[in-house]
Structure 1
Amino acid sequence: MTAIHQRVADVVFDKLHERIVGGQLAPGDRIDPTEVAASLGVSRTPVREALLQLEAQGLVERLPYRGVVVTAVDAADVEDIAALRIHLETMAVRAALPHLTEDDTRHMESIHRELLAAVASPDAQRSFSELNRDFHLTLYRAAGSPTLLRLISDLSARAERLRLHFDVRHGRAMDDHARILAACQTGDVDEAVAATRDHILGATLMMLPEDFRVTPGSVLDTALLQSGHDRQNNPSTTADLRR
């Protein structure tokens, strides 16, 4: 593919991604390459390339007799990934905070400023993932466990692929990052753990139905309790953390 076709394919990708994230294309909706090409005034070649990119990111899939359709988000998978992330990432925070340096917190603060600018830009979806990953891994690296870091990175990559279905400009990520950063700067381990837990849960709830509730005794419930969540005093966890 020529450089010009690649640029056109990127534009088509952005348009289709925006429609998926914005809900104009819902899970199960069929995407007709010919219709897309006609609506955007381009040839089918960049549309096919854009669909391959979307397929690689798990946003669309090819089904027999239907063609390309928007992939549905598996709620059970979302919940399981969240439970494992809460367990591992809060563990990493507890281990990391006593070893976090001023250089580390300054780097996190710099990334946070970049994230604030990124989410206000037209390229928010692309910029957010890399900066968000750098912000959290700067903290987790201080735990000094390459194995833990690798497990967290693998799960975070899966969560990022799911999050591509949703608009990062909505939700509470920036407020959560500010809370995590403040706890790291003051060395408040319990607050950093709570902020990390709430951050992961809040991001997860964006991907689940409005009426979702954490089932008592589930893997997610167990991870929340182990991370210090008080079920008795926080019965409406989902209502608070969706905002």
Structure 2
Amino acid sequence: MTVLETIRARILSGELASGDWLKDSVLATELGTSRAPVREALERLVQSGLVTKTLNRPYRVVTIDAAALSELRLLRFADESAAIIHVVLNCTPLAALEAPLAEMERLTVAGAGWVSLVDVDLEFHRALVAATGLPRLLSRFDGITDQIRAWLGGIEVPPIVAGTQLQRHVELRDTLVACQAAQDVRPAIRLWEAHLLGDHRASAFWGDESR
């Protein structure tokens, strides 16, 4: 992996936790490289929102509080709504959604935990956005979901939430297919709103303090 990919993976896995200081000299030593590629990678991660930097201070893994999470969810919903409109009105093939659904089914049958399901959950949603073929939309979406992924991986959720992920995503896929046939985006937008905003607002693991 590149230096950027390695540092990003360490953040998303929780090895580099929320609020951790990221000293380029230390990372360079750990990764067996010079400080220049580390600094370049950290600047890229600042742009994507995973890392913060203030004047005369080291880089730091972003801390996502309730207010930031609420904003990220709204931005994610906006991006996925745009993707829905595009793929429905253009009848874009949705075959890319099948692989994450199959993996989600495998993990569900195996009784996998929440952290494993988070990855495939976000893979499903990324596949939808990628299906638009719009690189700027996908780039923005990746930055938003990286921050959400870093937060999601560090929480505990009720077993019922993990247990219903497959059913919920199959419903999302089936609704998209029906919307393409009817050339009507509204049912999918309403379902995505419930999936990304409504259900999450009502669930304790999203943080009642944000309401």
Gaps of at least 5 residues in structure 1 are 1-9, 139-152, 216-243
Q: SS where residue 26 of structure 1 aligns?
A: coil
Matched, 1:104 2:88: no
Deviation at 1:198, TM superposition (A): 3.3
Moved more, 174-183 or 23-32: 174-183
CA distance in 2 between counterparts of 1:12 and 1:210 reads 33
Match of residue 75, structure 1, among 44, 66, 82: 66
Equivalent residue for 1:133? 129
CA distance in 2 between counterparts of 1:50 and 1:184 reads 37
Q: Judge conservation of contact 1:78–1:159 (CA < 8 Å) in 2.
A: no
- Larger fraction in helix: 2
Q: Judge conservation of contact 1:26–1:70 (CA < 8 Å) in 2.
A: yes
Equivalent residue for 1:181? 173
Equivalent residue for 2:197? 201
Q: Judge conservation of contact 1:114–1:131 (CA < 8 Å) in 2.
A: no
Equivalent residue for 1:113? 98
Deviation at 1:38, TM superposition (A): 1.2
Equivalent residue for 2:156? none
**Which amino acid is the alignment partner of residue 32 of structure 2?**
G
Cα RMSD over matched residues?
4.7
Percent sequence identity over aligned pairs? 23
Alignment TM-score, normalising by the size of structure 2: 0.59
CA distance in 1 between counterparts of 2:187 and 2:88 reads 15
**Which amino acid is the alignment partner of residue 164 of structure 1?**
D
Q: SS where residue 69 of structure 1 aligns?
A: strand
Deviation at 1:36, TM superposition (A): 1.0
Equivalent residue for 2:143? 161
Equivalent residue for 1:225? none
Gaps of at least 5 residues in structure 2 are 108-118, 154-161
**Which amino acid is the alignment partner of residue 162 of structure 1?**
I
Matched, 1:44 2:29: no
CA distance in 1 between counterparts of 2:33 and 2:79 reads 46
Alignment TM-score, normalising by the size of structure 1: 0.52
Q: Judge conservation of contact 2:76–2:144 (CA < 8 Å) in 1.
A: no
Deviation at 1:21, TM superposition (A): 1.0
Q: Judge conservation of contact 2:73–2:197 (CA < 8 Å) in 1.
A: yes
CA gap 1:200/1:111 in 2 versus in 1, 3 angstroms? same
Aligned residue-pair number: 179
Equivalent residue for 1:212? 207
Higher Cα Rg: structure 1 or 2?
1
Deviation at 1:41, TM superposition (A): 1.5
Moved more, 78-87 or 35-44: 78-87
CA distance in 2 between counterparts of 1:44 and 1:118 reads 38
